[in-house]
A = this chain, B = another copy of it.
Amino acid sequence: MTDASRFFRTPKRPSLNSLSWTKLASSPVLSDEERQALEDAALTPRAVRAGDEIVREGQATDQLYVMADGWALRAKTTRDGGRQIVGLAVPGDLANLDSFLFGRPDYGVRALTHGTVVGIPRDRLLALTAAHPGIGRALTWCALVENAGLSQWALCLGRQGAQQRLAHLLCELAARLGADDGAGVAFTLPLTQEHLADALGLTAVHVNRVMQQLRADGLIITVGRSVTIPDPERLRALADFDPAYLHLEGDATIPPTVLAPHAAPMPAGV
Contact = CB atoms under 8 A, between A and B. Distances in A.
Contact of A133 (B87, B130, B254): B130
Nearest to A240: B79
B251 A102 contact: yes
A244 interface: yes
Given A76-B151, A101-B29, A158 B258 contact: no
Interface stretch (A7-15, A120-128, A175-183, A211-219): A120-128
Contacts of A198: 158
Interface stretch (A16-24, A41-49, A140-148, A222-230): A140-148
Contact of A150 (B122, B151, B255): B151
Contacts of A87: 151
A115 interface: no
B157 A127 contact: no
Given A151-B150, A155-B76, A255-B123, A82 B160 contact: yes
A101 B137 contact: yes
B103 A251 contact: yes
Interface string A186-221: 000000000000101100000000000000000000
B159 A78 contact: yes
Contact of A78 (B106, B160, B257): B160
Contacts of A82: 159-160
A5 interface: no
Given A127-B258, A158-B200, A159-B82, A245 B106 contact: yes
A144 B106 CA distance: 11
Contacts of A141: 101
B255 A126 contact: yes
B84 A158 contact: yes
A252 B155 contact: no
Contact of A148 (B98, B148, B152, B153): B98
Interface string A232-270: 000000001000110100011111011000000000000
A-B pairs with the 6 shortest C-beta distances?
A: A158-B201, A136-B136, A143-B143, A150-B150, A157-B157, A82-B159
16 contacts: A76-B155, A82-B160, A86-B154, A87-B151, A101-B140, A101-B253, A103-B253, A106-B152, A106-B244, A122-B253, A126-B254, A126-B255, A146-B147, A147-B150, A150-B151, A150-B153
Given A101-B144, A129-B133, A147-B147, 9 more contacts: A78-B240, A84-B154, A86-B151, A101-B140, A102-B144, A103-B253, A140-B140, A150-B151, A157-B158
